[in-house]
């Protein structure tokens, strides 16, 4: 490949990948939203079937003076609390569920509220507390055969797709900006200022190496400069074509030669007829300065004489 940066910034390909990832992200978000809603609905239905019996037990427990006087440590981490509460509630072990929440160190953020309300409000407070914990699915482990719960893999994929879509969106915007600069930069090739012309040449060389769409248009436009009398301008074009067509990152001479020959043959196929003489001048300079290796000349000769 002529791209020594191992990158491809073709707008059409970036846009296609962006559309693909955006659609996948949309579908994944819909799946996760459906999974979340599905699980919440399932838990809500289960809770509604247990709530009346749970409230009855809470009322009974709050009237137990001995229990009220005893404040044991819960010994349950906050991370595992939702799973344990769900297990107790679904197994009708309402007393155990209440005792965990009554423990002094179970949920310290509720402690102040618990001591600030009257006895009549405590029943509703504990029912609300237990329901809040029961409905917490952030740490819920999915069943082996269930798709109702968001998995770590789903979340990892979500993050990856969001990152990709953000990157591709910015890249596509950048490439549209580059694409809009192709025509103005090609006009600079005819600038009276040599430095402006050189800047335009460097722009197209870099754009071509990154496979940017329409960069070839600017590269071919450089050929017209060979018709001018200023040698300095011609030298910049000759060096640019050398960078594009004669430079590879190959590790063997055979591969290096083959890549260059293929590039030059492809170039000959697309160069407008009116610019053939311009390209000839560039190649003549390469030959006179021994820039073009004999191995390349030999392969080209074999190709055009049909001996390859």
What confidence category does residue 5 fall into, taking pLDDT thresholds of 50, 70 and 90? very low
Q: Which two tokens stand for residue 283?
A: 């190649």
Please give the pLDDT value at position 303.
82
3-state secondary structure of 171: helix
In angstroms, the CA 233 to CA 156 distance is: 53
User: How far is CA 153 from each of CA 27, 139, 140, rounded to the nearest angstrom?
Assistant: 15, 14, 14
**Report field, pTM of the whole predicted structure over 0.75:** no
pLDDT at 66 over 90: no
* Residue 198 contacts residue 236 (beta carbons within 8 Å): yes
Residue for token pair 């030959």 = 287
Nearest to 246 by CA among 228, 236, 258: 258
Instruction: Pick the more confident residue, 151 or 280.
Output: 280
pLDDT tens figures, 86-132: 999 999 999 988 888 877 555 566 666 666 677 778 888 888 888 88
In angstroms, the CA 46 to CA 137 distance is: 14
pLDDT tens figures, 186-202: 999 999 999 999 999 99
């Amino acid at each position: 490949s002529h791209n020594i940066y191992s990158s491809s910034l073709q707008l059409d390909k970036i846009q296609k990948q962006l559309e693909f990832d955006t659609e996948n992200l949309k579908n994944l978000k819909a799946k996760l939203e459906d999974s979340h809603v599905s699980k919440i609905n399932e838990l809500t239905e289960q809770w509604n079937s247990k709530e009346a019996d749970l409230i009855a037990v809470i009322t009974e427990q709050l009237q137990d003076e001995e229990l009220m006087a005893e404040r044991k440590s819960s010994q349950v981490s906050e991370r595992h609390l939702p799973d344990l509460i769900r297990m107790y509630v679904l197994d009708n072990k309402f007393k155990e569920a209440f005792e965990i929440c009554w423990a002094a160190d179970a949920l310290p953020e509720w402690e102040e509220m618990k001591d600030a309300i009257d006895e009549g409000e405590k029943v509703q407070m504990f029912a609300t507390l237990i329901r809040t914990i029961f409905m917490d699915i952030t740490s819920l482990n999915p069943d082996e055969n269930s798709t109702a719960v968001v998995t770590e893999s789903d979340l990892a994929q979500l993050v990856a797709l969001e990152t990709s879509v953000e990157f591709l969106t910015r890249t596509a915007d950048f490439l549209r900006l580059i694409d809009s600069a192709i025509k103005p930069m090609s006009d600079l090739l005819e600038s009276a200022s040599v430095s402006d012309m050189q800047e335009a040449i460097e722009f197209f060389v870099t754009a071509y190496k990154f496979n940017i769409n329409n960069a070839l248009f600017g590269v071919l436009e450089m050929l017209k400069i060979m018709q001018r009398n200023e040698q300095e301008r011609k030298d910049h074009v000759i060096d640019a074509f050398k960078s594009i067509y004669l430079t590879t990152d190959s590790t063997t001479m055979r591969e290096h030669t083959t890549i260059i020959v293929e590039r030059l043959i492809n170039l000959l196929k697309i160069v407008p007829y009116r610019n053939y003489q311009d390209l000839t001048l560039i190649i003549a300079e390469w030959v006179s300065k021994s820039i073009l290796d004999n191995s390349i000349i030999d392969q080209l000769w074999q190709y055009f004489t049909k001996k390859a």
